[in-house]
Amino acid sequence: MIDQIAITAIEGLAAKLVEAWNRHDAQPLASIFANDPWPRREGLLNWIATRHGDSWLVDVSHDMDLPSPDLVEAQAALINRRT
């Protein structure tokens, strides 16, 4: 069953995103995202950007969290036990 109230709300959210993006207005753009409950983390962000006419655009975007130093140490200890 399609919830028309949810559809209308999501369409409004998308419209806010487009409007803020087109105005290059970071604060309204950020306001449509939920607060990130995770603590500060480190990761990698990869983009593949290609020229489209006179401008460059991101064709592919991928991000990933890097493991914490504690996890890296634990994984190294497990590997060393096997060898």
Domain ranges of the chain: 4-82
Per-residue DSSP letter, 32 = T
Q: Give dist(CA 43, CA 65) in Å, integer.
A: 4
Tell me the two tokens of residue 26: 């970071």
Residue 64 is predicted with a pLDDT of 93
Average pLDDT over residues 14-38: 89
Residue 49 pLDDT greater than 70, yes or no: yes
CB 32 within 8 A of CB 10: no
Residue 1 is predicted with a pLDDT of 65
3-class state of residue 9 by DSSP: helix
- Residues whose CB is less than 8 angstroms from the CB of residue 34 and which lie 6 or more positions away in sequence, other chains included: none
Residue 40 is predicted with a pLDDT of 78
Tell me the two tokens of residue 62: 């991928």
